[in-house]
Amino acid sequence: MDATAVRVVGSPPCRVGSRMSIVPGGEVHGTLGCAEFDAAAIEAAVDVWASGDPQTRTLHHDLGDIEVFFEPSRPASRMIVVSATDVARELRAAMGPLGTEVTLVEPRTDRVARGDGPVVASLADLDLSDYDEAVLTDHDAPQVTETLALLLRSPVRFVGVMGSRRHVGPYVDELRSRGFSDQELARIRSPLGLDLGGRTPNEIALSIAAGVVAARHERDGGWLDR
């Protein structure tokens, strides 16, 4: 995240506009003018990062204070969409404006259409993190159980499977028999998305996109006015 000195009071060793780039627990570049300010900024950055919201904090020095504007810039989330389906394509279109990159997973090369990229053949080719959201758009695809097992062992923050409980139930049962607990299995969101009642691929994609955003903000997706 960026930490920028936006106000200087007294005569501390810092000028308005001095800036650091801080990855909490990682790389640091730039300086606010002295080791004390830099150390204080790195410490503050941990807090600000956890909050996710920009903040201005006052840092103290014997010669004067500075106000530092911290702006967390979390990496854009990534949506991993399994299976090249019409809904997968509409999801790419729906998530684009939200700054969410969509990566398609499809081992069946004959299903991949021009414009479907980036595509990987296997989920195992991806380095999964808690910035990833995963959606399975075809409960009849090969290796659904294995895909779900891999996702449940990963830190991805959202796992959704399109389809009714009737379709997804057998996979859940199979995963339970492989030792996944009910708590682990509860991560699988299915039926997936918000109840918009639409049936076309773009309506279904909108329902999933809206649900993913609601999940990001821990909301229930119901009407704001009802």
Binding site for its own copies (CB under 8 A): 90, 93-94, 97-99, 189-198, 202-203, 205-207, 209-211, 213-214, 216-226
CB of 199: closest distance to its own copies in angstroms?
9
Q: How far apart are CA 204 and CA 194, in angstroms?
A: 9
Residue 45: Cβ within 10 Å count: 23
Looking at the Cβ atoms of 12 and 193, the one nearer to its own copies is 193
CB of 49: closest distance to its own copies in angstroms?
18
Looking at the Cβ atoms of 62 and 225, the one nearer to its own copies is 225
Q: What are the DSSP calls for 169-191, one per residue?
A: HHHHHHHHHTT--HHHHTTEE-S
Looking at the Cβ atoms of 91 and 104, the one nearer to its own copies is 91
CB of 34: closest distance to its own copies in angstroms?
35
CB of 221: closest distance to its own copies in angstroms?
5
Closest C-alpha among 146, 139, 142 to residue 161 = 139
Neighbouring-strand partners of residue 55: 70
CB of 89: closest distance to its own copies in angstroms?
10
Looking at the Cβ atoms of 99 and 118, the one nearer to its own copies is 99
Looking at the Cβ atoms of 60 and 216, the one nearer to its own copies is 216
Q: What are the DSSP calls for 26-74, one per residue?
A: S-EEE-SSSHHHHHHHHHHHHHHHHH-S-EEEEE--TTEEEEEEEE--P
